[in-house]
Structure 1
């Protein structure tokens, strides 16, 4: 006798329908997020912010883009509640309140930058499906435009706040930088923060290391364009980093958690500091306990970034793959285990996703 099929589990019809509505809303907003990335990279948001209500032809002409494609993109923006539309004149407008957080000069910062991460996640679907089976990692060359996205993010959360908000976390560092000290930015990317410091503090000497050769080439070009002679960049794998007592001040900006060996890097940075030196670490401020992240800002977004970038990049180097949400508790433990004293954890109003550790070497 053949077995009878298992009965379908009972469920609450109203709750199921409500969840179906939520899922449809998620799908709709996911499409909007990907199109926000298009609006940012094409410059369409910036063009719209500089125009009064205008037709799709006028907008396309100002942006030097094809009208038919622009019109379809505008339809997404209108139905997504981002751009307004007047049927009588078939004109579109970006409200000033929306431009404040979607343009490069936005008063509230440019949230459109993060739409690029959503688009990148979608483009990696096939690679991630393969890795779900194989357990293998990925490499930086698998991520087109990644360093550009991170530079834009860092430009807002780090470089734009560096002198007024971030460096003041380290008592006396501005005076020491003015007098002249040796500074390392480990995992410097395109070098925006380091170039800003080198420009402001010509008596200090600055070094930037990053695994990405394309990012280092960009940083070197930017430093040359700025006419800086007190800064040097080097493409370098920081695995096993072991320079000894060379720097007075070391920074890492959102760079530790996706290393092959995060704990090893923190130990290496401790060794590279001179006695009395200071290490400033920015990293993701979520907890290493999932249940503590249910209300953390953009938690699902960050776990998705972890699955598609930070974790596989570490695994691709043969690392542990701690992931984006490795937890501030883990970071603090690494700092203390390395030998740092007076480890303080700061959270800043402009940057709710990150924590800022200030740690001193005895």
Structure 2
């Protein structure tokens, strides 16, 4: 179908500017894939620990093939990520860049999120079928997804768990020290729960997740750590209906892609003992698209929603609310579930996520 163009109304300057923008997007997408590769190979970490290095020296230090390392470095240099001295043939990673590209980075390791771009490419063919049929997908369709999410959780949850997150719940530290029953609903590989169990030996911790692979990993880590106050269970939380079992329940970025988010929240409400508290973290965007134009990494989050969270929900027979289901939707579901005291918080260092503290 040929597009009709009104020559009189066509703005050549705008068209050229948009062409440049699309070319930039394609270029940046390729860079993002290579950034993810740099994270997975440890090249950023290795280079950050070397003041200067040739491609051969970097490859030897990282135990990788030099020819591939050299081509990866070319991407990083032209992307203005890695500095290059052509007279010496040496490369370096500026400290200001390492601050957001290395493990333990002071500003947060954004190279972790770059891995999603490569993942989107791996599921593209399956996603094309979903566009045509309207069907969904399963967690098993996503290679290494739980490992990637565990890295994400380590930065957004575990790293700030004791200094920033638990203080959102008044008095919870003392209750945990005294000994209470705790559930992590949708615990993934269990990093947050393992940290809690180690910190509070008098409390008892349970982690549920749909992925048997993630649960097996979590249980093995807990076993090696000698934690006897912690159990993990592979469990589909659809129709969850335990009654008054836990004093404290948390879910970290786990509700929006459930088959029935509202039903899960009702089930978690019922599983709380009298006086219990529910802490829920999710993406902090709005339910209204127009409110998200300036939200951090909004297009990235909608892309993840399109390729993962929405099809995973639909694949379970759910509504497919998506990643950007909105804090308004989450707050409404909490109140509809019977929580009368609902507090919404955003941490200053993490504008992407929202935290709800809910109780009767």
Shorter-normalised TM range: over 0.9
Is the 1:247–1:277 contact (alpha carbons within 8 Å) kept by the matching residues of 2?
yes
Structure 1 residues 47-58: aligned runs within 5 Å:
47-58=46-57
Q: In the alignment, which residue of structure 2 is the partner of 1:256? A: 255
Shift of 1:8: 2.4
Match for 1:9 among 6, 18, 28? Answer: 6
Shift of 1:6: 7.6
Instruction: Could you tell me which runs of 5 or more consecutive residues in structure 2 were left unpaired when the two chains were aligned.
Output: none
Consecutive aligned runs of 4 or more in structure 1 exceeding 2 Å deviation: 5-10
TM-score normalised by the chain length of structure 2: 0.98
How many Å separate the matches in 2 of 1:328 and 1:349? 17
Whether 1:276 and 2:280 are equivalent positions in the alignment is no
Structure 1 residues 177-192: aligned runs within 5 Å:
177-192=176-191
Structure 1 residues 1-362: aligned runs within 5 Å:
7-10=4-7, 11-361=10-360
How many Å separate the matches in 1 of 2:175 and 2:188? 24
Instruction: Could you tell me which runs of 5 or more consecutive residues in structure 1 were left unpaired when the two chains were aligned.
Output: none
Which SS does the other structure have where 1:58 is aligned? helix
- CA shift in 2, pair 1:240/1:6, >3 Å: closer
How big is the alpha-carbon RMSD for the aligned residues of Structure 1 and Structure 2?
Answer: 0.9
Shift of 1:9: 3.0
How many Å separate the matches in 1 of 2:114 and 2:5? 39
User: Which of 193-202 and 100-109 deviates more?
Assistant: 100-109
Which SS does the other structure have where 2:160 is aligned? helix
Which SS does the other structure have where 1:132 is aligned? helix
- CA shift in 2, pair 1:176/1:6, >3 Å: closer
Is the 1:33–1:118 contact (alpha carbons within 8 Å) kept by the matching residues of 2?
yes
Which SS does the other structure have where 1:344 is aligned? strand
Is the 1:157–1:350 contact (alpha carbons within 8 Å) kept by the matching residues of 2?
no
